[in-house]
Structure formats: structure tokens, C-alpha cells
């Protein structure tokens, strides 16, 4: 891959990527192998499958994973590939089963993935060796993460460091109140880059900028000033101040990258709502509404945004080298009742309107990047997370050479 090496070496530090990184199918295939098949991906929440036999599928390009709760209550992940001749075993995106029976020739697996029935199979064949292939899975405070690698990077440090702030928001005791899937006609990196920077927040997201102080430059005085009421009331709200920087050089190599940072909402806003009023009952250890929003990064393409009364989860995945999708989940306390304790339309308003705006921005970004006149441009000082993402990305590609 001499050409790729040259492309990587020609990249100016802290400038946007060359057009080929956004258009070339061969580079895309490399990225999938190196990044998507090796990173921990947020697949869902354990509350989606409360009973034995409950399952849902997580699909990514050629891969499909069955995430299922066993009779013993444990959650496991299996590749959705029959060990007979390879058919998908589960066809419905979610459901409840006593056993997993392949629709082709009816090979049947138990909830632990063992092959338990295969008619007319020679007695010489050992069924024990023909269980469904496992997919790596980790549960962090109720969140389900999967990894397609057989030797995945460790999530131990991420688990240790993020567990406390996650507990503060009671992540284990949440449920998914709403899920939306947004298709975006753009390369997946443009979607992740967009999520990683708030340089565009002030001009592009009036709904967000009205209430969220991250629209300011984080080193500015106005930003600092805005944080005061949020920080000063943390204690009274039963919350702690954490700041876990996404310092990829410090985080031990071969461990998944992660981060946590809280910033203030403007006066009058208790949460990420249109009118500033509460959207749902308080979550976790939180005893009063604190005017802030907490950003979590879980690996390179999965993110959480936590308010006092709900959590929004984002996962970006590619559909092809020029199309992507963004799955957004709104989570509230598991005991909260729809209609009485929260209203779906009010709950999803901010991040639905903001994600739809992002979808437009990102598609327009791709259109310009496709032009023969596109050339790499310099990142601003307010795009530091994006700068880190790009240099991490280039390092990943370099490792494939
Ligand atoms: S492919 Fe599944 S039973 Fe034949
Ligand atoms: Fe945005």
C-alpha cells in the first residue's frame, strides 16, 4: 500500500483529511477491518432484554450479532451464522425464543449457543464443536458493548474510570424510552468528526446553543463564567465533579479510549429540553436538577450525553463507503411511566432536531468534499477533539501498512 503510506505522510497535522480518505473504497475496507472490527461498539442496554430468551440483533455491514439473555440470566453475544451452511439463524430484529432454530434446515441451538439438534447428522460429527461462534461482549453499568475481534482491546480501564460517573447517572437502572435511526449520505468519518466538535454548534444549532454553554470556546472567560452555577450546585444535587480527559497518549495502548466531561446549561435550563423544564424523573444518585450536561466517549464511535433526568446515547456506523447511520437512544429511569412521568415528543425534541440538522450539515460537507476543488483545510482551536480523532485515525491506518 505504497500509495496509502504516501497519502498518510502527506497529511498536514491538524488539517482535514485528503479527499481519498472520504471516497476510496479500498481505504474504507481497511478502516472496517482495522477500526470497526476491533473497537468496542455500543450495541444497546440490558433493559432491552429483561427475560431469558429475549434477544435483539446488532447489524454492521456483513456482520450480524445475536445479543441474548440465557436461562441463567446472563447476557451473551453470538454471531448470527449457522454452523451448518452459514444461514442467518435469527431473522427478526428482536424477540423472545426458547431456542434458536435456523430457518434453513432447522439446526437448533440452546440459549447458551450450543448445538442441541441437527437431524440426520452422522454420529461421527461431534455436536459440541458446532456451537454458535461467540462475539466478544462487555457490560458496563447496564450498557452492552460488543467487539468483533477475537482478541479485543481491554475495556478494563474504561470500565474502572467511567463506572463512578455512570453510577451517578444510574445507567444500570435506565430503560430505552425512544430510539431513532438517521441515515446520512456521507462517509462515516464525517459523521464522527461532526459529533466531535462544537465549532459548528453556535451557527448550526440554535436550539442547542440557546441552552448549552459548550457553544463557547472552552478556554474563554464566558465559558468559565457559565460553569460556576453548575459546579457550585453539584454537591447539593448529589453529584460529583469528574473530568476524565481523552488523552490517548496517557491511556495505555491496547486499551479502548474513553472520556468524561461535564459542562453547564444556561440559567433557567434544568435539562436539555425546549423550555428548560424537567423532562423526566431524576436518575441515579442525583437528588436535584443540576444545570449541566455530561459528555461520555466510549471508544471511537459511541457517545453518551447525560442530563439530570435522561441520557442520550449515540452510535455511528457505516453502511457503505459513502453512507452511514446514526442510532440515537433516549434513556430514562426504568420505573418512569410514559405519558405520566415523561412525554416522548418533549424528551426527544432537542437531539432529534439537532441530529436532523447535523444530517444536513454532514451531507453538504460530503458534497463539497467530493468536488475536484476540495483540498484539506486547517482545524480551528475549537476542534481539538476532532484533531485527536484524526490523528488517532491516521495512526490506526499507519498500523495496517
Ligand atoms: S444453514 Fe442452518 S440449518 Fe442449514
Ligand atoms: Fe452538530
Q: Which pLDDT tens digit goes with each residue over 174-224?
A: 999 999 999 999 999 999 999 999 999 999 999 999 999 999 988 899 999
Ligand 2 (ion): which residues have CB within 5 A? Answer: 358
Domains and CATH numbers, the chain: 41-137 (2.102.10.10), 155-398 (3.90.380.10)
Q: What band does 256 get if pLDDT is binned at 50, 70 and 90?
A: confident
Q: Which of these, 6, 144, 170, lies nearest to 69 by C-alpha position?
A: 144
Q: Are 83 and 117 in contact (CB under 8 A)?
A: no
Distance of CA 312 to the CA centre of its chain: 10
376-398 confidence digits (pLDDT tens): 999 999 998 899 899 999 999 99
Nearest CA to ligand 1 atom 1: 85
Contact present, 87 and 104 (Cβ < 8 Å): yes
For ligand 1, mutation pick of 80, 81, 82, 90 (most atoms within 8 Å of CB): 82
pLDDT at 225: 95
Task: Indicate the average pLDDT of the chain.
Answer: 95
Asked whether residue 248 carries a pLDDT value surpassing 80, the answer given is no
Which position has the grid cell 475481534?
Answer: 149
Ligand showing the shortest atom-to-Cα distance for residue 109: 1
Q: Which residues line ligand 1 (CB under 6 A)?
A: 82, 84-87, 102, 104-107
Question: Which ligand does the CA of 355 lie closest to?
Answer: 2
Nearest CA to ligand 1 atom 4: 105
Q: Read off the pLDDT of residues 268-296 as tens digits, 9 standing for 90 and up.
A: 999 999 999 999 999 999 999 999 999 99
- What pTM, to 2 d.p., does this model score? 0.96
Distance, CA 156 to ligand 2 centroid (Å)?
30
Choice from 90, 102, 116, 119 to test ligand 1 binding pocket (greatest atom count within 8 A of CB) = 102
Ligand 1 atom at shortest distance from the alpha carbon of 102: 2
**Which atom of ligand 1 is nearest the CA belonging to 118?**
3
Nearest ligand 1 atom to alpha carbon 86: 1
Res 351 pLDDT > 80 = yes
Tell me the CA–centroid distance for residue 326 and ligand 2, in Å.
12
Name the pairing type of β-strands 174-184 and 75-79: unpaired
For 132, 157, 213, 262, 304, the CA distances from 259, given in Å and listed in that order, are 34, 11, 19, 10, 10
Say whether pLDDT at 250 is over 60.
no
For the chain, the distance separating the N- and C-terminal CA atoms, rounded to the nearest angstrom, is 6
Residue with CA closest to ligand 1 atom 3: 105
What gap in Å lies between CA 283 and CA 311, rounded to an integer? 9
99 CA to centre of ligand 1 in angstroms = 14
State yes or no: pLDDT of 246 exceeds 70: no
Q: Check whether 253 has a pLDDT greater than 70.
A: no
Amino acid at each position: 500500500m505504497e500509495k496509502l503510506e504516501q497519502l498518510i505522510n502527506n497529511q498536514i497535522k491538524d488539517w482535514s483529511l485528503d479527499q481519498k480518505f472520504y471516497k476510496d473504497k479500498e481505504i474504507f475496507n481497511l478502516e472496517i477491518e482495522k477500526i470497526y472490527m476491533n473497537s468496542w461498539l455500543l450495541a444497546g442496554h440490558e433493559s432491552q432484554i429483561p427475560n431469558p430468551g429475549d434477544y435483539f440483533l446488532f447489524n454492521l455491514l456483513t456482520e450480524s450479532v445475536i445479543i441474548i439473555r440465557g436461562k441463567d440470566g446472563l447476557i451473551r453475544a453470538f454471531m448470527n451464522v449457522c454452523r451448518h451452511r452459514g444461514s442467518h439463524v435469527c431473522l427478526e430484529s428482536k424477540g423472545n425464543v426458547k431456542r434458536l432454530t435456523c430457518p434453513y434446515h432447522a439446526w437448533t441451538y440452546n440459549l447458551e449457543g450450543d448445538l442441541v439438534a441437527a437431524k440426520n447428522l452422522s454420529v461421527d460429527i461431534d455436536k459440541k464443536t458446532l456451537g454458535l461462534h461467540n462475539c466478544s461482549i462487555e457490560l458496563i453499568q447496564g450498557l452492552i458493548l460488543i467487539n468483533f475481534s477475537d482478541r479485543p482491546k481491554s475495556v478494563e480501564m474504561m470500565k474502572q474510570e467511567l463506572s463512578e460517573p455512570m453510577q451517578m447517572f444510574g445507567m444500570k437502572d435506565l430503560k430505552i424510552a425512544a430510539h431513532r435511526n438517521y441515515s446520512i449520505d456521507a462517509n462515516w468519518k464525517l459523521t464522527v468528526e461532526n459529533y466531535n466538535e462544537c465549532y459548528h454548534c453556535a451557527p448550526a444549532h440554535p436550539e442547542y446553543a440557546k441552552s448549552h454553554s459548550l457553544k463557547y470556546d472552552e478556554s474563554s472567560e464566558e465559558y468559565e463564567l457559565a460553569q460556576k452555577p453548575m459546579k457550585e450546585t453539584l454537591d447539593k444535587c448529589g453529584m460529583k465533579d469528574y473530568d476524565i480527559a481523552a488523552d490517548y497518549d496517557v491511556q495505555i495502548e491496547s486499551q479502548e479510549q474513553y472520556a468524561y466531561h461535564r459542562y453547564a446549561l444556561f440559567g433557567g435550563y434544568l435539562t436539555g429540553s425546549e423550555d428548560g423544564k424537567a423532562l423526566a424523573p431524576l436518575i441515579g444518585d442525583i437528588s436535584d436538577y443540576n444545570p449541566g450536561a455530561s459528555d461520555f466517549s466510549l471508544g471511537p464511535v459511541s457517545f453518551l450525553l447525560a442530563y439530570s433526568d435522561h441520557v442520550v446515547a449515540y452510535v455511528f456506523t457505516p453502511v457503505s463507503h459513502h453512507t452511514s447511520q446514526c442510532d440515537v437512544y433516549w434513556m430514562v429511569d426504568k420505573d418512569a411511566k410514559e405519558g405520566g412521568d415523561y412525554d416522548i415528543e418533549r424528551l426527544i425534541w432537542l437531539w432529534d432536531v439537532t441530529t436532523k440538522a447535523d444530517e444536513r450539515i454532514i451531507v453538504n460537507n460530503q458534497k463539497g468534499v467530493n468536488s475536484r476543488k476540495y483540498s484539506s483545510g486547517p482545524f480551528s482551536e475549537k476542534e481539538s477533539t476532532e484533531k485527536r480523532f484524526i490523528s488517532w485515525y491516521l495512526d490506526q491506518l499507519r498500523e495496517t501498512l
